[in-house]
């Protein structure tokens, strides 16, 4: 299992290089195995109602959460756009995500999908307010810095600062650029879903940052991406605005 995950992650880190050119492709997805539904059955109809509610609610703040249906057919879902994404792009990303995750997790009562600009998660199980440790993946730049030890420390320092900042902000989002050394700049971004409390947001981010060495030791860029929070750092600009 671990080996598969590991080799597969290599594959997505490689694919991520292509993302610079074709940014509309999903980064990754997971499907749950908590049961199946039928095409045009009650769950499917609830899914369609849910996602249309999500993409009509998401533009003003970049976050939406809703539940539709009852009993076995209930669908819980949330959508989150990266904190700096303009509202039109946010909405189209969520629409795309809802179609794509339905295709990729066909007839599956749960799934989650990530893009650079947004994520969408749905499930027949209640998940609001709980840190999602199950759905998580890493991405990293194939190239390394020359001084890994000091670079890792600076990365951890920046991300930890952003974790504190994001979890005490209303959008649970923070991004920042910092000079490191002569001519280099380190860009960092962190974000949580807004169903969490401030404390859980901070915990989610700090746990993800704790995986920095496993994921991205000495790498020029990296991400730990989960269902409740994520971080990303790069040596080049990748976000529009810091709050
Ligand atoms: C970066 O470091 C890793 C781990 O030490 C190594 O496997 C990889 O080949 C290095 N990448 C490059 C491009 O040198």
Element (H, E) at 104: helix 87-104
Ligand 1 probe mutation, 141, 144, 222, most atoms within 8 A of CB: 144
Q: What order do you get walking across the sheet with 173-180 strand by strand?
A: 136-140, 222-226, 229-234, 184-192, 173-180
pLDDT given at position 243: 67
Within-domain flag for 239? no
Ligand 1 lined by 220 (C-beta under 6 Å): no
Instruction: Give the tokens for residue 223.
Output: 């991400």
Q: What is the 3-state secondary structure (H, E, C) of 122-147?
A: EECCCCCCCCCCCCEEEEECCCECCC
Within-domain flag for 163? yes
**Which residue's CA lies nearest to atom 2 of ligand 1?**
144
Q: Measured at the alpha carbon of residue 87, what is the angle toward residues 84 and 90, in degrees to the nearest 5?
A: 80
Whether 141 and 225 map to the same domain: the answer is yes
pLDDT given at position 7: 40
Whether 9 and 111 map to the same domain: the answer is yes
Read off the CATH number of the domain in which 162 is found: 3.30.430.20
Domain termination residue (choose one: 97, 123, 149): 123
Number of domains the chain contains = 2
Whether 69 and 158 map to the same domain: the answer is no
Q: What is the pLDDT of residues 118-159, one digit of tens each?
A: 999 999 999 999 999 999 999 999 999 999 999 999 999 999
Mean pLDDT of 83-109: 96
Rounded to whole angstroms, the Cα distance separating 176 from 74 reads 39
Within-domain flag for 141? yes
Predicted confidence band at 206 (pLDDT cuts at 50, 70, 90)?
very high
Range of the domain at 40: 2-123
Between the CA of 40 and the centroid of ligand 1 the distance, in Å, is 48
Between the CA of 136 and the centroid of ligand 1 the distance, in Å, is 23
Residue 50 confidence (pLDDT) above 80: yes
Whether 114 and 169 map to the same domain: the answer is no
Q: Is 196 helix (H, G, I), strand (E, B) or coil?
A: coil
* Range with lowest mean pLDDT among 20-24, 74-78, 138-142, 192-196: 20-24
Between the CA of 91 and the centroid of ligand 1 the distance, in Å, is 38
Give the residue from 73, 69, 79, 75 showing the smallest Cα distance to 118.
79
**Which residue's CA lies nearest to atom 11 of ligand 1?**
143
Rounded to whole angstroms, the Cα distance separating 160 from 182 reads 23
């Amino acid at each position: 299992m671990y080996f598969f995950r590991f080799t597969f992650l290599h594959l997505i880190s490689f694919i991520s290089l292509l993302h610079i050119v074709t940014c509309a492709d999903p980064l990754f997805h997971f499907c749950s195995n908590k049961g199946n539904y039928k095409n045009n059955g009650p769950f499917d109809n609830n899914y369609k109602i849910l996602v249309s509610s999500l993409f009509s609610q998401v533009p003003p703040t970049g976050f939406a959460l809703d539940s539709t249906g009852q009993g076995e057919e209930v669908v819980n879902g949330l959508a989150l756009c990266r904190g700096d994404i303009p509202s039109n792009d946010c909405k189209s990303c969520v629409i795309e995500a809802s179609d794509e995750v339905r295709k990729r997790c066909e007839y599956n009562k749960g799934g989650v999908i990530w893009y650079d600009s947004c994520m969408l998660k749905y499930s027949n199980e209640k998940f609001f307010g709980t840190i999602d440790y199950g759905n998580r993946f890493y991405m990293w730049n194939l190239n390394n810095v020359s001084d890994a030890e000091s670079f890792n420390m600076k990365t951890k320092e920046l991300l930890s600062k952003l974790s504190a900042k994001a979890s005490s902000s209303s959008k649970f989002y923070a991004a920042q650029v910092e000079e490191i050394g002569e001519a280099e700049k380190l860009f960092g971004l962190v974000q949580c879903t807004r169903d969490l409390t401030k404390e859980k947001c901070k915990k989610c981010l700090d746990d993800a940052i704790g995986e920095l060495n496993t994921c991205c030791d000495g790498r020029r860029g990296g991400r730990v991406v989960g269902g409740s929070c994520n971080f990303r750092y790069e040596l080049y600009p990748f976000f529009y605005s810091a709050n």
